[in-house]
């Protein structure tokens, strides 16, 4: 399914006054859309070729702070410009905004026009190119989980983020009646995304109060990440339009189940599923064994790209449907990696580690890098785990906090070979900054616990 625009169609719509604004966007380190609003006439008149943005957009945090320690850009270098190169294959209408279209851009060096290696979209493209050299393509699907709240973003912010009341009062997993009450948000979200060419399959209530899941049909890896990013952006904007706040924090309350973003993945060769072999156990090919073994061996190395913040690690708790042990199993939701579609052409591996705060480009790129290394090393896949992985402490635990994940990232020879040392150093600094920022703050928990009793 494709409902993207071409430049000629956009020009006609601009001339007719049907479209007057074009969102020209890059994807930042946090997976957000950043960029400019072009008048449509200016975009079709030349802006479609390239525009520019400050280099700090790929060296900032959630607060748009400009920490030191980055080699790629800094106060010392003067924070120059990157070139934003619109990928016209992503040009599409934005149905929930009047007279508006959108395009995603690749980020290029302003002088050489070479791709910026640490740009998230480029990192995924690099691994896709490695697969192409092997005659393979990657197909991915992501699940977006999030919480809806009664009040708006502004109302909650004014309360100091303390008045957090979900839109429902009970677990709404698969619940049709409760999710009917949320259709004023979810119905336009599904329909507007479908109208713009995002292959929405459906939505459902998730396993908490006010928690929803949005499902998008699988696609090639880059398209999957594009769809995920646009859908996440749309969820925030459409919720805001309806007077509600939404959060993709993976754990916004210790009393609530967290939100994940599971990633389903498989490889294809010559249009056929390369993970499928009907003559082997479970129908999984030798290639799938090697790929999955790579995911498992290097899981700690790339956990940062699936859980990038201090709070991300609060989600990994026993009995929460979030994994704790780095094992694979057959259709077992206690394992970090779940084999789905056994004995069928739909066979795939689902990674259950990523939280709802992941950047899909970074997470997919890192998993592809690990899987490729597994294929190159012809790694042997261990036996499938059986039983409750929460009760087995003999297995390798997912990194327990951001500090441990950063250590594994920084020391990963596999990731340095796949992306280059400068790229890994860049994201290692991002992780270090998150830790520094958290450690300088006195939390409400510390005050309440010790104010009188310490």
Asked whether residue 166 carries a pLDDT value surpassing 60, the answer given is: yes
What pLDDT is recorded for position 1? 43
Nearest to 409 by CA among 263, 307, 292: 307
pTM: 0.96
- Average pLDDT of the chain, as a whole number: 95
Give the E-state strand segments of 29-163 in sequence order. Answer: 33-39, 51-54, 81-86, 92-93, 100-109, 137-148
Q: How confident is the model at residue 395 (pLDDT cuts 50, 70, 90)?
A: confident
Q: What is the pLDDT of residues 149-161, one digit of tens each?
A: 999 999 999 999 9
Asked whether residue 389 carries a pLDDT value surpassing 70, the answer given is: yes
- Alpha-carbon gap, residue 241 to 390, rounded angstroms: 40
Q: Could you tell me how many helices (H) and strands (E) the chain has, helices first?
A: 14, 16
371, β-bridge pairs: none
Q: Which of 114-118, 169-173, 254-258 has the highest mean predicted lDDT (pLDDT)?
A: 114-118
Strand 92-93 to 33-39 pairing: unpaired
Strand 21-27 to 33-39 pairing: antiparallel
- Alpha-carbon gap, residue 386 to 210, rounded angstroms: 32
Asked whether residue 2 carries a pLDDT value surpassing 70, the answer given is: no
Q: What is the pLDDT of residues 48-92, one digit of tens each?
A: 999 999 999 999 999 999 999 999 998 888 899 999 999 999 999
Q: What is the pLDDT of residues 12-61, one digit of tens each?
A: 999 999 999 999 999 999 999 999 999 999 999 999 999 999 999 999 99
Q: What is the pLDDT of residues 253-298, one digit of tens each?
A: 999 999 999 999 999 999 999 999 999 999 999 999 999 999 999 9
What pLDDT is recorded for position 221? 98
Q: Please give the average per-residue pLDDT across 197-210, as a whole number.
A: 95
- Alpha-carbon gap, residue 372 to 394, rounded angstroms: 27
Q: Please give the average per-residue pLDDT across 416-425, as a whole number.
A: 98
Alpha helical stretches, state H, 216-331: 221-241, 286-297, 299-302
Q: Which domains, from first to last, does the chain contain?
A: 7-116 (3.10.20.70), 127-446 (3.30.590.10)
Q: Please give the average per-residue pLDDT across 419-425, as a whole number.
A: 98
Asked whether residue 357 carries a pLDDT value surpassing 80, the answer given is: yes
The crossing angle, in degrees rounded to 10, of helices 120-133 and 360-376 is 30
Asked whether residue 431 carries a pLDDT value surpassing 90, the answer given is: yes
Radius of gyration of the chain from its Cα atoms, rounded to whole angstroms:
22
Residues in the chain: 454
Rounded-to-10 torsion of CA 34, 38, 42, 43 = 50
Q: What is the pLDDT of residues 359-380, one digit of tens each?
A: 999 999 999 999 999 999 999 9
What pLDDT is recorded for position 394? 64
**What are the φ/ψ torsions at residue 416 (nearest 5 degrees)?**
-65, -35
348, β-bridge pairs: 340
Asked whether residue 199 carries a pLDDT value surpassing 70, the answer given is: yes
List the Cα angle 200/202/362 in 5-degree steps: 55
């Amino acid at each position: 399914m494709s409902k993207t625009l071409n430049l000629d169609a956009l020009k006609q719509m601009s001339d007719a006054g049907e479209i007057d604004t074009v969102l020209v966007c890059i994807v930042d380190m946090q997976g957000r859309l950043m960029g400019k609003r072009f008048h449509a006439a200016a975009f079709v008149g030349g802006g479609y070729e390239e525009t520019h943005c400050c280099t700090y957009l790929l060296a900032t945090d959630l607060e748009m702070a400009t920490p030191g320690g980055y080699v790629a850009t800094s106060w010392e270098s003067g924070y120059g410009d990157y070139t934003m190169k619109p990928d016209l294959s992503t040009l599409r209408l934005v149905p929930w905004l009047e007279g508006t279209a959108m395009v995603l851009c690749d980020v290029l060096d302003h002088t050489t026009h070479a791709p910026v290696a640490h740009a998230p979209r480029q990192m995924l493209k690099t691994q896709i190119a490695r697969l192409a050299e092997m005659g393979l393509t990657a197909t991915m699907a992501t699940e977006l989980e999030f919480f809806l709240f009664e009040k708006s973003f502004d109302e909650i912010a004014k309360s100091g983020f303390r008045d957090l009341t979900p839109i429902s009062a009970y677990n709404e997993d698969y619940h049709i009646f409760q999710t009917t009450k949320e259709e004023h948000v979810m119905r336009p979200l599904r329909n507007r995304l479908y109208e713009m060419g995002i292959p929405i399959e459906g939505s459902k209530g998730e396993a908490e109060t006010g928690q929803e899941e949005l499902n998008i049909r699988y696609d090639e890896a880059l398209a999957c990440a594009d769809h995920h990013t646009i859908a996440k952006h749309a969820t925030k904007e459409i919720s805001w339009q309806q007077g509600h706040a939404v959060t993709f924090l993976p754990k916004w309350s210790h009393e609530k189940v967290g939100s994940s973003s599971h990633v389903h993945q498989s490889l294809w060769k010559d249009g056929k599923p390369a993970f499928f072999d009907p003559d082997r156990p479970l129908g999984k090919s030798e290639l799938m064994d090697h790929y999955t073994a790579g995911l498992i061996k290097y899981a700690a190395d790339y956990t940062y790209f699936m859980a990038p913040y201090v709070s991300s690690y609060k989600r990994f708790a026993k009995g929460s449907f979030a994994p704790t042990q780095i094992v694979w199993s057959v259709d077992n939701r206690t394992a970090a990696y779940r084999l789905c579609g056994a004995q069928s052409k739909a066979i795939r591996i689902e990674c259950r580690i990523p939280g709802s705060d992941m950047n899909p480009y970074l997470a997919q790129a890192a998993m592809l890098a690990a899987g490729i290394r597994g294929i190159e090393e012809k790694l042997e896949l261990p036996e499938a785990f059986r039983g409750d992985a929460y009760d087995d402490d003999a297995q390798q635990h997912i990194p327990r906090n951001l500090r441990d994940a950063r250590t594994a990232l920084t020391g990963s020879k596999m990731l340095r070979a796949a992306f280059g040392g400068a790229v890994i150093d860049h994201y290692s600094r991002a992780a270090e900054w998150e830790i520094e920022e958290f450690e300088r703050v006195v939390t409400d928990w510390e005050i309440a616990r010790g104010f009188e009793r310490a």
